[in-house]
A and B are shown apart, each in its own frame.
Chain A
Amino acid sequence: MTTWIDIFLLALVLTDFRLLASSRLGAIIQTTVFQAVSLSACMLLMAVRPISIYIIALSIVTFTVKGIILPWLLRRAMREADVQREVRPIIGYSASVLIGVVLLGLSFIIFMPMKETVSGSAFLMPGALFTTLTGLMMIISRKNALTQVAGYLVMENGIYAFGVILAVEEPLLIEMGVLLDVFVAVFVMGITVYQISREFDHIDTDRLSELKD
């Protein structure tokens, strides 16, 4: 069972690298779907036996929101804003991947002392932190507003993964709250991006500071 958790966590980490390396928005959105799959799978695998109906429900809701609805919203925003790829990121893709390797190492070092206290896979905490940091990297190193929205989503995925570790004790309400939070945020951002692109013909956040009448 731990092997399967390990495999899904590794999938999470690899998708993070893919996010850091890809310039195409379509690929980024598709990758967040993979993340949603591995998150909900981890949730089911981590749960104490016998699995309660709440965990199953939560995992299904997680997948529906993060794996179906949000990607659909992002794809729609992408289509309407008519952007395919990030043209000129602040930090290049190769550099991003290298920074990603460093960040992953850092995540491992940070959670080294907690190795014994957390039950389950030792990869979980660093993986969750790394996913959060990846989202942060996407937000600060890319200019395209949609990539940044996707980065926000990835960051939330990381936080959610932390939640998965504690899903046993954590009240269901908080998980649902986080989920609703992300949903509303991405929903609003998707609409905003569309409005921005209609108003200014681009969604480059760097140029948004020079707003004119």
Chain B
Amino acid sequence: MDMKLFGPVIHILLALVISPLLMGIINRTKAKFAGRKGQPLLQPYYDIIKLLRKGSVYSTTTTWVFRLGPVAGLSAMIIAILIIPSGGINSLLSFPCDFILMAYILGVARFLTVTAALDTGSPFEGMGASREMQFAILAEVVMFMGVAVLAVGTGKISLSSIYYTLWDSNFTNIAPAVFLVALSFLIVLLTENARIPVDDPNTHLELTMIHEVMVLDHGGVDLALIQYGSCLKLWLFSSLLAGMAIPVRTGIMIVDMGINTVGILLISVFVGIIESGMARLKLLHIPQMLLAAFSVTAAAFLWVLR
């Protein structure tokens, strides 16, 4: 195999294989903090396999829109994974302004999940869909602003080349700005992946759910696809965050990839710690938190513009 392709392919395989482990790590961390033994690390895999063996039940009120949601959502995630680089290693699909495509593919996935939720006609799902869209719009602004900071700071316009230049040798003049972006990216990660303090993935009350309530009517294979898709989404954001926050580039591909992967796993631990230490914010306060993230990125943007 061509050596240039080797790195990206390994990254995608890693993402496809390890991503459910991230959820397991988060749950294990939370269990440790709560003094419990916790479920096995591989529990998300067992769940997905169990669900894949089951059949799906469809309500008679739903149409093809409902069936399209999970499948298209998962494929969108896989396409998005193709675009993101792993630390300094290029992605398979890299071209100028590819981050715009990535953001909108995530948008498409969200749109399809939301329409599938609305298709059931359940008022709870409609409520969850409306909340999901509201917060996603705000998070998207922060994400674009963050990528803009990196693009202006490095002078590159594709994700791969941005991350390639990011922590090159003698690259410290915009380091504080990059850390600020990483900080706001963490908030985007928590928002997009429906984690505490934005959304509680373990909640059992439909009224308080945001993301979880939208997939209540999916079952069996569909639910497995959705769960796997959300694992991939967590991997995607963690990988982007790890590439930003870890200021190490050795230049040796395997080592860089290892560092990035360890970084991604550490981010899961960190998310678990955040979830153990924080309660959910009031719904009205979530836009304020995203606004804070936005102002932090705006400060970083002004920093790199000077």
Contacts and interface: CB of A to CB of B under 8 A. Distances in A.
Contacts of B176: 3, 6-7, 10
Interface in B281-303: 287-288, 291-292, 294-296, 298-299, 302-303
A104 to B, nearest CB: 6
A93 interface: yes
Given A6-B176, A94-B288, A115 B295 contact: no
Interface stretch (A13-21, A135-143, A144-152): A13-21
A87 B145 CA distance: 32
Given A7-B176, A17-B292, A21-B292, A104 B287 contact: no
Contacts of A108: 302, 305-306
Contact of A21 (B288, B298, B299, B302): B288
B306 to A, nearest CB: 5
Contacts of A21: 288, 292
A3 B302 contact: no
A111 to B, nearest CB: 9
Interface in A89-126: 93-94, 97-98, 100-101, 104-105, 108, 112, 115, 122-123, 126
A122 B177 CA distance: 13
Interface residues of B, number: 17
Nearest to B303: A123
A112 B298 CA distance: 17
A14 B296 CA distance: 7
Contact of A94 (B172, B291, B302): B291
Given A94-B288, A97-B291, A97-B295, A104 B175 contact: no
B180 interface: yes
Interface-centre pick from A3, A6, A122 (highest chain B CB count, 10 A) = A6
B298 A104 contact: yes
A21 B175 CA distance: 25
A6 B305 CA distance: 15
A10 B180 contact: yes
Contacts of A104: 298-299, 302
Contacts of A105: 298, 302
Interface-centre pick from A7, A17, A112 (highest chain B CB count, 10 A) = A17
B133 to A, nearest CB: 19
Contacts of B302: 104-105, 108, 126
Contact of B299 (A7, A13, A94): A13
Given A10-B303, A104-B298, A108-B302, A97 B292 contact: yes
Interface in A12-68: 13-14, 17, 21
B180 A100 contact: no
Interface-centre pick from B175, B176, B287, B299 (highest chain A CB count, 10 A) = B299
Contacts of A3: 172, 175-176
Nearest to A17: B295
B211 to A, nearest CB: 24
A6 B303 CA distance: 10
Contacts of B303: 10, 123
B296 A98 contact: no
A21 B299 CA distance: 15
B299 A14 contact: yes
Contacts of B305: 108
Given A10-B176, A21-B292, 9 more contacts: A3-B176, A10-B299, A13-B299, A21-B288, A94-B287, A104-B298, A104-B299, A105-B302, A123-B303
7 contacts: A7-B176, A10-B176, A14-B299, A101-B294, A101-B299, A105-B302, A108-B305
Interface of B: 172, 175-176, 180, 287-288, 291-292, 294-296, 298-299, 302-303, 305-306
Q: Considering the complex of A and B, which 9 residue pairs feature the smallest CB-CB distances, nearest first?
A: A101-B298, A6-B176, A10-B176, A108-B302, A101-B295, A17-B295, A97-B295, A122-B306, A7-B176
